[in-house]
Amino acid sequence: MAGQLREMGYSPVPDEKSADLVIVNTCAVRGSAEQHALGYVGQLKQLKDQKSSMKLAVAGCMSQEPGTIAWLKKYASHVDLVFGTHNLHELPKLLDEVEERGEMVVDVWKTAGEVVEHLPSQRADGVQAYVNIIYGCDKFCTYCIVPFTRGKERSREIPAIVEEVEALAREGYQDITVLGQNVNSYGHDLTPPVDLADLLVRLEKVDGVRWLRYTTSHPRDFSQKLIDVIAQSHKVTRHVHLPVQSGSNSILKRMNRKYTREQYLDLMERVKAAIPDAVLTTDIIVGFPGETEDDFEQTMDLIKTVRYDAAFTFIYSPREKTPAARWEGRDPVPNPVKKDRLNRLMDLQYRISLEANQRLVGRTELVLVEGLSKKNPNVWAGRTHTNKVVLLERDPDVDLIDRFVPVKITQAKTFYLGGEVVGAPVSERSRRRRVELPLV
Ligand code: SF4
């Protein structure tokens, strides 16, 4: 959207007050984010009343939900444009329509069309860039809204992705993340079919790319071929994020995750065997409908078995339109029980995370310095290729931001490492000097 707007002559401004156009780009995965977005749209009414020339649009996954459109029509008539995830390439046309009609334009496609290539793009400066490789999801986990808001899986062709990554590398981007709701099912819909392993092998050959990442993965489609490619690669990072969601077979079945606890554990064993230095992380939902204490204990047991470096933990809340939200009882696990389970789970995981980090003390790691620490301007914050945050004492006479530097790990905490720079940067200075883009 930013690329299209730049071609239309727009440029970013620091806040809404000085904007001619505000686009509220929404996420529908969690109810709290939805409430936040609608609250923000409501707050903008005052500004719209003072400045009628300002155009206000609502985009993203929430726009794909009929309930959101009905709410906006009823309570937010100051919104000029509502468009969804499947037609964002039509943004210039839609803005023209707003000018012509002078009333709220709602244009949301129920289904996705073909993948649109060669849209203009506007990227943040620096050395990190994100490249979509597949859109949509066919998995239909019973708690998830994504298949309804993002539609069926549609993969981009390998040559188009390679061309984009080559152009990025020429511009100085060195840390590339390929993106999709489920990157592990990449390419099954192409003719002839290909897979993520094929794509990564091809991207590995692009000169100038130093680190290659992929997100998000689904354990069901994480193949042995992919494990072998990661094990042999010099660029694909050894961070393997495989959301398990629950350690109980009965809950996994209710979630429609399409794997069992045993299959998942076998997969993790194969990852560990092939990539001994892999950093393993996961996502877990607690309090899913029907989760008993015994189910939860099985999740705890799975964490002890796998020993993740980190886990992103969530309390279940029903999302409208998903199958789980329509089940009888809807959200039967009481909130205090959910919170207690979450706390126990986090206590366990934090202990394991600290132990995993302690094992890195004394090692030398390549760190991409991403910027200054938010809490302390005398400290640089960076990441290893395995996504571990590393804090470094800053030398005010040197600018290491966006550079890859060797760092000796000297300190381990639960959520980050401390280290000291032990050598010169291994990368050239980025040709894309970073400029902070305004975010509201
Ligand atoms: S695989 Fe991920 S995006 Fe797809 S339905 Fe399941 S949780 Fe949602």
User: Is pLDDT at 40 greater than 60 in this prediction?
Assistant: yes
Where residue 30 falls among pLDDT bands split at 50, 70, 90?
A: confident
> Do 237 and 385 touch, CB atoms closer than 8 A?
yes
Give dist(CA 77, CA 146) in Å, integer.
Answer: 27
Q: What is the DSSP letter of 437?
A: P
Q: Ligand 1 mean position to 146 CA, how many Å? A: 6
* Pocket perturbation via mutation, ligand 1, pick of 181, 253, 282 by most ligand atoms within 8 A of CB: 181
Contacts of 120 (CB under 8 A, 6+ apart): 3, 4, 6, 7
> Ligand 1: which atom is nearest the Cα of residue 150?
3
> Ligand 1: which atom is nearest the Cα of residue 218?
1
Nearest 5°: the CA angle 283, 241, 189 is 105
147 lines ligand 1 (CB under 6 A): yes
140 lines ligand 1 (CB under 6 A): yes
User: Is pLDDT at 440 greater than 60 in this prediction?
Assistant: no
Measured in residues, the chain has a length of 440
Pick from 215, 163, 213, 155: nearest CA to 186: 155
Contacts of 128 (CB under 8 A, 6+ apart): 173, 175, 176, 177, 368, 370
Give dist(CA 338, CA 296) in Å, integer.
Answer: 10
User: Is pLDDT at 386 greater than 50 in this prediction?
Assistant: yes
Give dist(CA 410, CA 392) in Å, integer.
Answer: 10
Contacts of 258 (CB under 8 A, 6+ apart): 139, 220
Over residues 376-393, the mean pLDDT reads 95
161 lines ligand 1 (CB under 6 A): no
> Ligand 1: which atom is nearest the Cα of residue 140?
5
* pLDDT in the model for residue 436: 42
137 lines ligand 1 (CB under 6 A): yes
User: Is pLDDT at 346 greater than 60 in this prediction?
Assistant: yes
Tokens of 423: 């050598």
* pLDDT in the model for residue 435: 45
Query: What average pLDDT is seen over the chain?
Result: 94
Give dist(CA 304, CA 307) in Å, integer.
Answer: 5
From first CA to last CA, the distance across the chain in angstroms is 16
Q: Ligand 1 mean position to 214 CA, how many Å? A: 15
Over residues 186-191, the mean pLDDT reads 97
Burial group, residue 103, by CB count within 10 angstroms (0-12, 13-18, 19+): exposed
* pLDDT in the model for residue 113: 82
Backbone φ and ψ for 355, nearest 5 degrees, come out as -60, -40
> Ligand 1: which atom is nearest the Cα of residue 256?
6
pTM for the model stands at: 0.90
User: Is pLDDT at 2 greater than 80 in this prediction?
Assistant: yes
Give dist(CA 148, CA 180) in Å, integer.
Answer: 15
Q: Which domains does the chain have, with CATH numbers?
A: 2-107 (3.40.50.12160), 128-358 (3.80.30.20), 364-421 (2.40.50.140)
> Closest Cα to atom 6, ligand 1: which residue?
141
> Do 283 and 314 touch, CB atoms closer than 8 A?
yes
Q: Ligand 1 mean position to 173 CA, how many Å? A: 29
* pLDDT in the model for residue 439: 37
Contacts of 138 (CB under 8 A, 6+ apart): 147, 152, 153, 182, 185
* pLDDT in the model for residue 374: 87
182 lines ligand 1 (CB under 6 A): yes
SS (H, E, C) 61-100: HHHHCHHHHHHHHHHCCCCCEEECCCCHHHHHHHHHHHHH
> Ligand 1: which atom is nearest the Cα of residue 144?
8
> Ligand 1: which atom is nearest the Cα of residue 137?
4
